[in-house]
Amino acid sequence: MTRVGISREVIRALALWPALFFISGCCCFVPAEAETVVIVVPSRHDGHVGAVVVSRGERQQLLNTAYATARATPKGAIRQTSLKPRQLEELQKTFAAASEALPPKAQTYILYFDLASENLTPESSATLDVILAEVGKRSAAEIVVVGHSDSLGTPEANLALSQRRAERMRELVIERGAAPRIVSAVGVGERDLVVATGDEVEEVRNRRVEVTIR
Amino acid sequence: MRRLTMGALVLAAGFAQAAMAGDVGQIKNAKGGVFIVRGGQEIAASAGTPLQQADRVVTRADGAAGITFKDNSLLSLGPDSALDISHFSFDEKDQPDVLEATLHRGTLSAVSGKIVARTPEAMRIKTPTTVLGVRGTEFFVKVTNPDPVK
């Protein structure tokens, strides 16, 4: 009985003093205005801490330390805080689902060819198995092949050669079981040398195909 | 209703078959309810569904989704989230690299890719209250938005 009485009183209070309700009860409800929370974290891949610039109009806040956090509502300052251990735990819960859904990082493998040919060196043939194993581990994997040449020969001939190498690589991964529709292949000739050389230089490290799995 | 859902799934599978020039990335992980809103149509999304500029990715209360872009940037959404892929250009002739996404609500996990490696802050995340210029590498964003966004 008493309980009912109290709750009636509360209801009346809510109806009469919406401002009081707002002050006392707002933290339990969705805030009345939009809020953005941004947190910079160490990279899960290499621990590197990057930076994010949070801006709203003229106001800017640079976040460039581990777990640096900014909160921003439509008006007022962008508040920067560093998190306490308890808040870190909350953070992990808040972002657990998003974090788990993050796809694995893309992996790039470099394979080399014998001079003026579309034949892989023996070491690079072995890398093919590593590539196929990586593809098998991923959900909806794509294989992106980019062929390159060294600077020996004309740019036109090298473009054609790099395209043949990329195409050969595409065939090789498909022969080993990759679905054709997930494999793309392009050649870029001598325009993206990994070892800078002058023109007409034979360089094994430039005669390569880069295979990215993502 | 059931037929409608199946139709949407078949449609999504059809998109998954062909990676087209207009694609900016792909859904790699999809858990629970994940949809793409494209040209006013809602498409059920699954692992392998390609994404295009101007797509909105929406997750339901039980949903989560992971996206890999063509520049190897990674973005993922927790439940009850809505993200627009506002602008994406990578390695296009005579066009600056850019990745601009808008988080209307929900949670986002992000790891920058080649676009940021080449041009810091060419990746931007917009929210109802801020613009985030990304210099690297991993970060989280949460948007609480009282205004309903479909």
Whether A40 sits inside 8 A of B138 (CB atoms) is: yes
Q: Is B108 on the interface with A (CB under 8 A)?
A: yes
Q: Is B140 on the interface with A (CB under 8 A)?
A: yes
For the ranges A75-84, A99-108, B61-70, the lowest mean pLDDT is seen at A75-84
- Enumerate the residues of chain A whose CB falls inside 8 A of the CB of residue B31: 97, 101
Please list, in sequence order, all residues whose beta carbon lies within 8 angstroms of the beta carbon of residue A24, skipping any fewer than 6 positions away. Answer: none
Whether B79 sits inside 8 A of A97 (CB atoms) is: yes
Q: Is the pLDDT of residue A4 over 50?
A: no
What pLDDT does residue A84 have?
Answer: 83
Yes or no: say if A213 and A105 are a contact pair by the CB < 8 Å rule: no
- The C-alpha angle with vertex A134 and arms to B20 and B119, in degrees rounded to 5, equals 55
What pLDDT does residue A117 have?
Answer: 78
What mean pLDDT is predicted for residues A61-89?
Answer: 89
- Enumerate the residues of chain B whose CB falls inside 8 A of the CB of residue A36: 127-130, 141-143
Yes or no: say if B39 and B60 are a contact pair by the CB < 8 Å rule: no
Q: Is the pLDDT of residue A47 over 90?
A: yes
More confident residue, B1 or B149: B149
Q: Exposure string (b/e) for B99-109, b if CB count within 10 Å is 16 or more?
A: bbbbbbbbbbb
Whether B129 sits inside 8 A of A42 (CB atoms) is: no
For the ranges A96-105, A144-153, B75-84, B131-140, the lowest mean pLDDT is seen at A144-153
What is each CA distance from A95 to A46, A148, B67, B127, B140, in whole angstroms? 20, 41, 16, 17, 7
What mean pLDDT is predicted for residues A111-122?
Answer: 84
Whether B137 sits inside 8 A of A96 (CB atoms) is: no
- In the chain, the amino acid numbered A32 is A
Give the minimum alpha-carbon distance from A5 to chain B in angstroms, rounded to a whole number. Answer: 33
Residue B12's pLDDT band (boundaries 50, 70, 90)?
A: very low
Please tell me what DSSP assigns to residue A209. Answer: E
Q: Is the pLDDT of residue A16 over 50?
A: no
Q: Is B52 on the interface with A (CB under 8 A)?
A: no
Residue A33's pLDDT band (boundaries 50, 70, 90)?
A: confident
Identify which of B141, B145, B148, B125 has the alpha carbon closest to the alpha carbon of residue A34: B145
Euclidean distance between CA atoms B130 and B102, whole angstroms: 10
Q: Which of B31, B130, B144 sits opposite A101 (nearest CB)?
A: B31
Q: Is the pLDDT of residue B21 over 80?
A: no
* pTM for this model (two decimals): 0.82
Q: Which of A32, A56, A140 sits opposite B47 (nearest CB)?
A: A140
Mutate to test the interface with A, among B129, B134, B149 (most CBs of A within 10 A): B129
More confident residue, B32 or A12: B32
Per residue in B113-136, pLDDT (tens digit) is 999 999 999 999 999 999 999 999
Residue with token string 């938005």: B145
What pLDDT does residue B65 have?
Answer: 98
Give the minimum alpha-carbon distance from A200 to chain B in angstroms, rounded to a whole number. Answer: 27
Q: Is the pLDDT of residue A13 over 60?
A: no
Q: Is B33 on the interface with A (CB under 8 A)?
A: no
What pLDDT does residue B145 have?
Answer: 87
What does the block give as tokens for A21? 């309700």
Q: Is the pLDDT of residue A141 over 60?
A: yes
Q: What is the ipTM of this complex?
A: 0.86
Q: If you measure CA to CA, which chain B residue comes closest to A50?
A: B136
Q: Where are the beta strands (DSSP E) in A27-117?
A: 35-41, 51-56, 59-63, 68-72, 79-82, 107-112
What pLDDT does residue A27 have?
Answer: 43
What mean pLDDT is predicted for residues A100-127?
Answer: 90
- Enumerate the residues of chain A whose CB falls inside 8 A of the CB of residue B129: 34-36, 56, 72-74
Q: Is the pLDDT of residue A1 over 60?
A: no
**Pairing between β-strand B34-38 and β-strand A79-82 as defined by DSSP bridges:** unpaired
What mean pLDDT is predicted for residues A1-18?
Answer: 47
Half-sphere exposure of B10 (CA within 13 A, CB side): 6
**Pairing between β-strand A183-187 and β-strand A143-147 as defined by DSSP bridges:** parallel
Euclidean distance between CA atoms B77 and A100, whole angstroms: 9
Q: What is the mean pLDDT of chain B?
A: 88
Residue A42's pLDDT band (boundaries 50, 70, 90)?
A: very high
What pLDDT does residue B4 have?
Answer: 44
